[in-house]
A and B are shown apart, each in its own frame.
Chain A
């Protein structure tokens, strides 16, 4: 459904943040993209939704296909209209608007007022927490509530694919659970998910397939079971290793890791 072929993304025509990545998200799947800080995960999502313009970034080579249509460097509004919505990193609610208004903005492309109201109703059914907060100013919600709100706002566009960037960042375990419950619920309802996470164990628990990104490249991919059982993933991203102690990331030489991953 979504295919990236050798996509390169540059900021300011000098910083190559994504160095030719290839990945596929199939319909109805949940695919996760994990990796450390600065790996290029957010950049990849911003390249797909094409909201990197304000940061002076652009896709410099490769192709992005949604279905069989090229969507690279298209207007963000066309990409949303095509059925992809990007939930950006950092719980970007519209802080001065109410929960209701935030959701309405999410559904702004729909011309029929009745359809928008129907979506709003079903959104409050899907996320009852938000129903109690309808008239509250979004900026004053708790982190967990804001995360639910931005996911709900994305759903208001009636997308086929939602890309979510680090929904668990900075949330308490209980709130993380609530967010991931919502995500698996969406998945059950047939929404395709592309999930970027640092919290790999949570991500792998709902994902079907995963990619590990490092330094702008994909260094490892596999089904979530394969990744969960992979020694390096256990060590670097799940914080487990055979001896039961956590090794520092830098201790193992890069070539060795690559060899093991590729072999």
Chain B
């Protein structure tokens, strides 16, 4: 029983980090309808900037992290300016092809700038795990879970209650209608890329704290995909539920199925779930179902 709870709780917490990475993905998708396959590379890039600030330059946390977020924001801005601002009006397919190009390019940039070595990521959160009776939880995961839930609530509030956020939600619904109301679609898309890139950096900090980073870390971007699809691509709150769900399934599979079968079922299971969602309910579980009234 203790074992089961341990797998469940740790799975849920890991799932929340997927949800955090998926949030960046969803924020970009909502505004621009760009399905950003390079989200994992943004995580790696953000992670390496943090590494650069804190390990290479040896800056204290309080200075290193704000600079890292600032850099991430600037990267998001530049990516939109360089790759997507001139793509306005192009097909979704063309946009996705550009994100694949971006993925390859960012991977190259990371390899050239930081090399292929595995590097130790700074311990942003305390290292020793929390032990509660039978539970053993890494603190980074615990803080990460709390931060993820707070960020989700904050974003939901932003998109539904603030002027800038409502503008972005209008853009998410329909570019032309948003324009007819005097909303600058361009500006909303730029803000979305900046936010998406910063969220990727936050995801890197939580996911990587006291672990190691290399260009392979971008796989987290792939794990965020099933979470985003399960949530339905538009719903921020849905991401939390979807993340927990996928994390628990993966955690339990890793705990029970993998040893029993002698195979890594847990690493493919999220994608099996993703395919099932795509077959059964392509709009996801909590996302914007197309409301049609005739």
Contacts and interface: CB of A to CB of B under 8 A. Distances in A.
Say which size band chain B's interface belongs to: 20 to 34
A53 B179 contact: yes
A140 B166 contact: no
B176 to A, nearest CB: 5
A260 interface: no
Given A50-B179, A97-B160, A108-B182, 16 more contacts: A53-B88, A54-B176, A54-B179, A76-B182, A77-B182, A77-B184, A80-B180, A80-B181, A94-B174, A101-B166, A105-B166, A105-B181, A108-B167, A137-B291, A139-B291, A143-B293
B27 to A, nearest CB: 16
A153 B181 contact: yes
Interface of B: 88-89, 160, 163, 166-167, 169-170, 173-177, 179-184, 234, 288, 291, 293
A56 B176 CA distance: 12
Interface string A97-110: 10001001110110
Interface string A139-158: 11111001000000110010
Given A54-B176, A97-B166, A139-B293, A85 B181 contact: yes
A176 to B, nearest CB: 17
Contacts of A56: 89
A15 to B, nearest CB: 16
Given A96-B291, A104-B166, A108-B183, A54 B173 contact: no
Contacts of A79: 182
Contact of A95 (B163, B173, B180, B184): B173
Contacts of A157: 181-182
Nearest to A98: B160
A85 B170 contact: no
Contacts of A55: 176
A106 B181 contact: yes
B169 A51 contact: no
Among B166, B175, B181, B183, chain A packs the most CB atoms within 10 A around the CB of B181
A51 B291 CA distance: 24
Say which size band chain A's interface belongs to: 35 or more
A94 B177 contact: yes
B166 A77 contact: no
Nearest to A153: B181
Contacts of A76: 179-180, 182
Given A76-B180, A105-B181, A140-B293, A96 B163 contact: no
A96 B288 contact: yes
A94 B173 contact: yes
A75 interface: yes
Nearest to B182: A80
A86 interface: yes
Among A55, A79, A105, chain B packs the most CB atoms within 10 A around the CB of A105
Contacts of B160: 97, 101
A51 B170 contact: no
A88 B170 contact: no
A158 B112 CA distance: 54
A87 B163 CA distance: 20
A56 B175 CA distance: 13
A58 B218 CA distance: 42
A68 B183 CA distance: 24
A81 interface: yes
A51 B179 contact: yes
Ranked 10 nearest A-B pairs via Cβ = A80-B182, A139-B291, A77-B182, A76-B179, A92-B177, A51-B179, A95-B291, A86-B180, A94-B173, A105-B170
Contacts of B182: 76-77, 79-81, 85, 108-109, 157
Given A94-B174, A101-B160, A105-B166, A85 B180 contact: yes
B285 to A, nearest CB: 15
A68 B270 CA distance: 61
Among A53, A79, A81, A146, chain B packs the most CB atoms within 10 A around the CB of A53
Interface in A64-89: 75-77, 79-81, 85-88
Given A108-B167, A139-B291, A51 B184 contact: no
A29 interface: no
A49 interface: yes
Contact of B177 (A77, A88, A141): A88
Given A56-B89, A140-B291, A96 B173 contact: yes
Contact of A94 (B163, B169, B175): B169
B169 to A, nearest CB: 6
Contacts of A108: 163, 166-167, 170, 181-183
